[in-house]
Structure 1
Amino acid sequence: MVCIKNGPGPTALLIAGNHGDEYEGQIALSNLAREIRADQISGRLIILPALNYPAVQAGQRVSPLDDGNLNRMFPGDPLGSPTEMIADYVCQELIPMADLVVDLHSGGRSLDYVASALVRPGRDAEEHEKLVRLLRVFGAPISFISDGTGGGGITTLAAAAEAKGALVLTTELGGGATLSLSGLSLAASGLRRLLMDLRIVSDIDVEAASPTRLMTVSGHDAFVYAHERGVFEPAAEVGEEVAKGQIAGRIHFPDLPTREPETLLFGSSGLVACRRVPSFTRRGDCLFKLMRDLDLAPSRAGHA
């Protein structure tokens, strides 16, 4: 953990390594911790580039100590497993200090994501507008609003931060357990814009944000899951626009070569936000997630 503090002002809690096989955020925060000087700060930065340290050290999504998926264990348990204890510490000690929480993710070993930022729907119209503004300041090509349906729900760090009144922004910066240079660049510039906007950091050079396409995830129909174990043949690419009923892909069965492959269809129309990377798949694996353009009404209704 790195803490940089200089006088009164707001606090930003910056996190990566929530999942250990997602690397853009880990590098972006390590770079930021070395580059920011205390005299550039008005307030406080708390930086954790490797939040789930055992998972980061192992280069895998979950902790090798307890198979804990940290971003599915909030608000945690101080007397629980190691991963539950990390979640509890973040929830009880760190988040209450923060005015802004940024949790940097990418698709890890299993998914490839379009470079994007996301927030949960605001609990009221005023909070909703503040969160949409964060998305515009961060400046990802795609931004979306989701309450986590189909991907963690209320068990995520973002949900825990929202419940404690902090503004929280999450990212998806690439995937495939490799490093996206464009995702790393977006993390570096987006973080600096957020910190300057909050007036925590000054006297740094950063380009202006590009326009962002505001989108949302339209419930369970936005996801395609594997129903069988086999070899996944995708029929769409990340960033592609697809239509409801269009073929999403096929699951093949090399151990039963005379069996017809299982054909999977998209349950809604939209833009392909992410696609499974490994070809081998098991029942329950997420193969695709779709987004659709956002109705900017401030209500939580319709956001998923």
Structure 2
Amino acid sequence: MSPPRKSQIVPEVPFDKDGVHCGFLRLFHSVHRSAYGFIPIPIAVFRNGTGPTVLLTGGNHGDEYEGQIALANLVRSLDHTRISGRVIILPMLNFPAAMAGTRTSPIDEGNLNRSFPGDPDGTVTQQIAWFVANELIPLADATVDLHSGGSSLMYIPSALARRQADPDRAALSLRLLKAFAAPVAYLTAGGQGTGHGGTLSGAAATHGVVSLGSELGGSGTLTPAALRIAERGLRNVLVELGILPPEDRVPAEASTRILEVRGAQDFVYAAESGVYEPLVELGDTVKAGQPAARIHTPETPWREPATAQFLGDGFVLCKRVPGRTMRGDCLFHLGTDTGL
């Protein structure tokens, strides 16, 4: 039997000592300008006695900024003497992509949230995925991976979780969704039918760890409203897990609307390349067969635009941002009410 494969990433911080420990994960990467250098992935570990462990990550995609800023703020503000357990924070998980402000890594073009469980001897992105999947997630009772729509999509600020077959994990997922207190939350079936495999949440599911995600806006920018939702959500999740005391809970303005994303029928894609004209807005309720967008070809203005239609009924959670689009680009996706 071959020995277990080990990550080549070296943490500068301990995970088993009380206190606040800040430093870097050293991902050694030899390049022309630095033969023996490493990529410094920032990490902070807060620990105080016994209790649950939560893994909090942002910058999984480098052009999504809400999580990066919310977690950086949390690193500076969290009082470890008020917690019971452990909080592991990585605000810039895909550090090369986050520094470049791009969805994928400029080093290997890796999309970290399609790279799990990774490879300890693989590319930079695969090594990050392996370390998270095999060194960090097994330490955790829950994970929160903060995302937004990045440069190409805009979401109604939302939280999300995978559907869980286990009743206890399903109940915890729903509690965390409601505690996060985003205006909208939705349940997914994972990557089934959408091509969204290889995710951090999938790696968590493999280890039986409950995972929470978010889609906190997008358009390649950061809004004060989305940041407030992220910061409130993080605090409330720590309270819900019993890591912070109940008096630290931040009240929400309204209850969360719980939706589900059923699969491929909730997504609309461009069937042609051109300039897309959206026919609905975020938050609209639509019907199957309703026109979603027209794809124009201004270079041949006499040609009739192609029309994309919704495949099912639902609530518009997400829309594409750039007007110029190519065949296969996602234009919209929907959610449907669950009554939860």
Q: Post-superposition shift, 1:21?
A: 0.4
Aligned to 1:248: 292
For 2:325 and 2:193, the matched residues in 1 are separated by: 18
- DSSP-derived class of the 1:77 partner: coil
Aligned to 2:52: 10
From 53, 61, 64, the equivalent of 2:103 is: 61
Which amino acid is 1:201 matched to? Answer: L
- DSSP-derived class of the 2:294 partner: strand
Does structure 1 residue 155 correspond to structure 2 residue 198? yes
From 251, 273, 276, the equivalent of 1:229 is: 273
- DSSP-derived class of the 2:103 partner: coil
From 64, 82, 85, the equivalent of 2:124 is: 82
Which amino acid is 2:45 matched to? Answer: C
Does structure 1 residue 275 correspond to structure 2 residue 319? yes
Q: Post-superposition shift, 1:132?
A: 1.0
For 1:99 and 1:10, the matched residues in 2 are separated by: 6
Q: Which range moves more in the overlay, 53-62 or 142-151?
A: 142-151
For 2:115 and 2:231, the matched residues in 1 are separated by: 28
Q: Is this contact kept in 1: 2:189–2:262, CA < 8 A?
A: no
Which amino acid is 1:26 matched to? Answer: Q
Q: Is this contact kept in 1: 2:49–2:84, CA < 8 A?
A: yes
For 1:78 and 1:53, the matched residues in 2 are separated by: 17
Rg larger for: 2
For 2:306 and 2:290, the matched residues in 1 are separated by: 14
Aligned residue pair count: 296
Q: Post-superposition shift, 1:125?
A: 2.4
- DSSP-derived class of the 1:14 partner: strand
Aligned to 2:146: 104
1:1-304 matches, within 5 Å, as: 1-148=43-190, 149-202=192-245, 205-209=248-252, 210-294=254-338
Q: Post-superposition shift, 1:115?
A: 0.9
Q: Which range moves more in the overlay, 36-45 or 21-30?
A: 36-45
Query: Deviation digits for residues 191-217 of structure 1, max 9, x if unmatched?
Result: 111101212123864422431111101
Q: Is this contact kept in 2: 1:23–1:179, CA < 8 A?
A: yes
Q: Post-superposition shift, 1:89?
A: 0.5
Q: Is this contact kept in 2: 1:72–1:152, CA < 8 A?
A: no
Could you tell me which runs of 5 or more consecutive residues in structure 1 were left unpaired when the two chains were aligned. Answer: 297-304
Query: Deviation digits for residues 202-251 of structure 1, max 9, x if unmatched?
Result: 38644224311111012211110012211011001111111111110111
Could you tell me which runs of 5 or more consecutive residues in structure 2 were left unpaired when the two chains were aligned. Answer: 1-42
Aligned to 2:7: none
The percent of aligned pairs where both chains have the same amino acid is 52
- DSSP-derived class of the 1:105 partner: coil
Structure 1-normalised TM-score?
0.94
- DSSP-derived class of the 2:146 partner: strand
For 1:192 and 1:258, the matched residues in 2 are separated by: 55
For 2:243 and 2:168, the matched residues in 1 are separated by: 22
Structure 2-normalised TM-score?
0.84
Q: Which range moves more in the overlay, 61-70 or 116-125?
A: 116-125
